[in-house]
Amino acid sequence: FLSGAGGAALSLPFFESLPSMAASGAKPIPRLVVFYVPIGVVRRAFFPGEAGAAIPKFSSNQVEIPVEQTVQPGIHPLELTPTLEPLAPVREHITLLTGMDRTYQHGTDVHAQCGSCFLSSAPPHTITTSAYPLDRTFDHVVADEIGGATPFRTIELSCNSHKDNLESIYFDNISWYGTGHVAPSIREPRKLYRRLFGTKEIRAYRNITDLVLEDAHSLRRNLGRSDREKFGEYFDSIRTIEQQMDRLEGMREELARVSLEEPPEAHLPRGDYIRLMCDLMVTALQAGLTRVATFMVGPERWNTPFTYEGVFDAPRSHHLMSHNQGKYSDDLIQLDRFHMELFAYLVERMASVPEADGTSLLHNTVLTYGSGLGDGATHQYSDLPIILAGRGGGSLAAGDRWIHRPEGDPLSNLWLTEARAMGLRHERFADSTELLPGVLA
């Protein structure tokens, strides 16, 4: 950490030229990140072999739609469908995982359960104190083992900028300490920035990088060439984050003065907001502030619209469009691709962050893209869209491949496998049955 006038503090990444750091020779500890996308996907554009499938009809209840098996279970070359095309530059890091299921427990809303229980996967009717099959979620199980040495055991982020509170907490949180005990998500970039880096409110008038520059330049003289470059990149990223926050906050203030049909937040550029939150998360992981993070791209079943810049001309509701794929199929495919472009951005950002042993932040991370629904129209809990990235420090096999699992394979098998990749030796997680073949190195 560096400190400056007024009590401001800034954490730093690992610098191998500093004697106290180089002497440790420690291998980077794996990190865990879950990137959650709400409301499923348009299957025809996401899943290989389903391009010719019929447009599904809307069902208000959870249904199981049989998927015609056009490929045998096993490991296959990665096929970049229209929605997956943005992953082309990072395909070497990508494993597409298909065939994973969750079991729906009847009696609760399909959207609330698919999101809140995505990382829990407790067997139906085993949790007697809640209407949801919701137990301690996977991120906290991992953090129990690897999170204790960091300032923040976990961080929970949600890119839902709206404050209209249309839905309960079960629609807007995938991380839970236990049944009925939510780990509240941070949704404001400035609040997250202050939580990670700030110590006193004087920062409202002078930014952190200005306050610590004198100490920083003193330290810089003691660094080797590669670490000086890393130092400059790190401070540039912090400065860029500050500028992005200032711009978005200025835009929000201007929108608040205008009479709009939708709330001002609906008109904020969605991609800028999500990328800013990604940058903050990457910086926290880079600096060792946390090793476990969950990231919700948006809330489940929240009808308040968002502005998806470069996709639509006006704010749109993802949830409402998902109920009419016959009318909005092309729009939904564009929206799925928009989310995939943001995931590709996160993968590229993490791959660009060097670690002390010459690897990258991505190499030392288990990064998962996923949704709790296989399709937003049918609300099916089967054949969920799942993507793995990163190597978990070398514990996961290399990417550029597609693993297709047999029908009925529980999603919890993935969490159990990722736990093993993170160094945990659990024999079971939730309703898991086995480690996933071909995932571990």
Q: How does DSSP assign 343-395, residue by residue?
A: HHHHHHHHHTSB-TTS-BTTTTEEEEEE-S-SBTTTTB-SS--EEEES-GGGT
Give the number of C-alpha atoms closer than 13 A to the C-alpha of residue 309, restricted to the C-beta side.
11
Is this structure's pTM higher than 0.85? Answer: yes
**Residue of 22, 24, 414 lying closest to 227 (CA atoms):** 22
Per-residue pLDDT tens digits of the chain, which is 441 residues long? 444 444 445 555 655 555 544 445 568 889 999 999 999 999 999 999 999 888 988 887 777 666 565 788 999 999 999 999 999 999 999 999 999 999 999 888 999 999 999 999 899 899 999 999 999 999 999 999 998 888 889 999 999 988 887 789 999 999 999 999 999 999 988 888 878 876 444 344 345 555 455 555 556 666 666 666 666 667 677 777 777 778 777 877 776 675 656 666 777 889 999 999 999 999 889 888 899 999 999 999 989 899 999 999 999 999 999 999 999 999 999 999 999 999 999 999 999 998 888 899 999 999 999 999 999 999 999 999 999 999 999 999 999 999 999 988 999 999 999 999 999 999 999 999 999 999 999
**Do 116 and 422 meet the contact criterion of CB atoms below 8 Å apart?**
no
Chain position carrying tokens 């609300």: 379
173 is written with which tokens? 């949180």
Residue 400 backbone class (left: φ over 0; alpha: ψ -120 to 50; beta: rest):
left
Q: What is the pLDDT of residue 99?
A: 94
**Do 87 and 401 meet the contact criterion of CB atoms below 8 Å apart?**
no
| Helix (H), strand (E) at residue 327 | helix 325-351
Residue 30 backbone class (left: φ over 0; alpha: ψ -120 to 50; beta: rest):
beta
**DSSP assignment letter at 153:** S
**Residue of 418, 384, 276 lying closest to 38 (CA atoms):** 384
- At 158 the three-state DSSP class reads strand
**Residue 34 CB: number of other CB atoms within 10 A?**
24
**Residue 256 CB: number of other CB atoms within 10 A?**
11
Using alpha carbons only, how large is the chain's radius of gyration in Å? 22
Q: Using DSSP bridges, classify how beta strands 292-296 and 155-158 pair: parallel, antiparallel or unpaired.
A: parallel
